[in-house]
Amino acid sequence: MTPAPAAEWAERGERSNLLALRVMAWVATTLGRPLARALLHPIALYFVAAAAAPRRHSRRYLARVLGRPPRWREVYGHFHAFAATVLDRVYFVRGRLAGFDIRLLGLEHVDAALAEGRGAVLLGAHLGSFEALHAIGESRPGLRVKMAMYPDNARKIHRVLQALAPAFGLGIIAIGRRGATLEIRDELDRGGLVGLLGDRFLDGDAREGRAGASTRLPFLGTDARFTDGPLRLALLLRRRVIFMVALYRGGRRYDVRFMPLADFRAPPAEPAAREQALRLALQAYVAQLEALVREAPLNWFNFHDFWDDDAPHAP
C-alpha cells in the first residue's frame, strides 16, 4: 500500500479545524453559549452535508469502532460533538470555567511528576478537548502547560485563540524546527508540562528522523500507522510520559484523566532494550487510545484518511 499524501490531514483537516474555530468563536463571543449551543445543530448539519471527504472518513471510522455501518444520526453526532468541543474551546481559553462540570481523575500522577521538578510529557490524541486541561491550571496556580504542535497549525490556531483571549496562557512550541527539542527540554527542566498528540504526524518528519519511526499497529481491527516520535523524545530527555485526555460527555461535562504510560527516567543502557521499551510504550499508547475511542466513539476527531483507505494499492 502506498502511503496517503503526507500532509492530507494538515492541508484539509486542520484547515477545517481553523474554519470551525473562527465560526464558533464569532458565535460564542457574539451570541453567548446558550444560543451558540442551539446553533450547533445547523452548523453540524451543514458540515455533514457539505464536507464529503470528512463525512466519508467519519463513516469509515464509526463502522470500525461500532462494528457495524453507522446510522445517519451517529455520523451527525460525530460532527456535533466536534462542533461542541470547538465552541467550548473558546470559553476555556478565556478562563470561563464556571458552569462547566469538569471531573479530574489521576491528577496525583501529574503531582508526583511535578514534585520532582522535572516536569512530564503529556501524550494525548485528537480526542475530546485539550483546552479542558485548563482545569488543572485553575486547581494548580502557576502550573505551566505548553503544547508542541506543527508550526503552521500552531501559528494559525494560536492566532485565533490569542485574539479571543490576549492573556491566553497555553504556550506553543513549534516542533520540526531547529531548537524545538532544546525548548521542550528547557520547559521540562523548569518543572512545566509539555503536551503532544500522538495520533498524527507528517511523513516528511518521519523520513527526516524528526518525528521518529512510522509503525503499523492493530487499531480498531485494522493496522494503522503510528509514530513513536513523542515517546522517543521523552526517552531522549529521560522523562515520565502521562496519557492525557478530556472526554466530552455532552452538555457542560468533561472527564479529564491522566494515566501513567511510560517512565523513561532511567532508560536501559542497551540500544536493543531501549528500542523494546519504546515499542512496548507505543503499543500501550495505541491500546489506551483504542479503549478510549470505544468508550467515547464520538470524541475522536480524525476526519481524514487515517487508515490510508483511499491510497492506491500496489499491484
The DSSP-derived string for 203-255 is HHHHHTTSS--EEEEEETTEEEEEE-HHHHHHHHHT-EEEEEEEEE-STTEEE
Rounded to an integer, the average pLDDT of 10-26 is 61
Average pLDDT, the chain: 84
120: containing domain: 8-299
| 233 is a domain residue | yes
Look at residue 219 in the predicted model and tell me its pLDDT: 98
End-to-end CA distance of the chain: 9
Residue 1 lies in a domain: no
- Determine contact, residues 27/39, Cβ cutoff 8 Å: yes
**Is position 309 within any domain?**
no
**Pair 24, 36: CB distance under 8 Å:** yes
Among the listed ranges 94-103, 154-163, 178-187, which one has the minimum average pLDDT value? 154-163
User: Among 120-134, 213-227, 229-243, which range has the highest average pLDDT?
Assistant: 229-243
Tally the domains of the chain. 1
Q: Is 150 left (phi over 0), alpha (psi -120 to 50) or beta?
A: beta
Q: Are 26 and 86 in contact (CB under 8 A)?
A: no
Cα–Cα dist 1/129, whole Å: 32
C-alpha dihedral sign at 188, 190, 193, 196: negative
Q: Is residue 312 included in any domain, yes or no? A: no
Residue at 115 is within a domain: yes
Look at the block and give the residue holding cell 457539505. 50
Query: What is the per-residue pLDDT for 161?
Result: 65
pLDDT at 159: 66
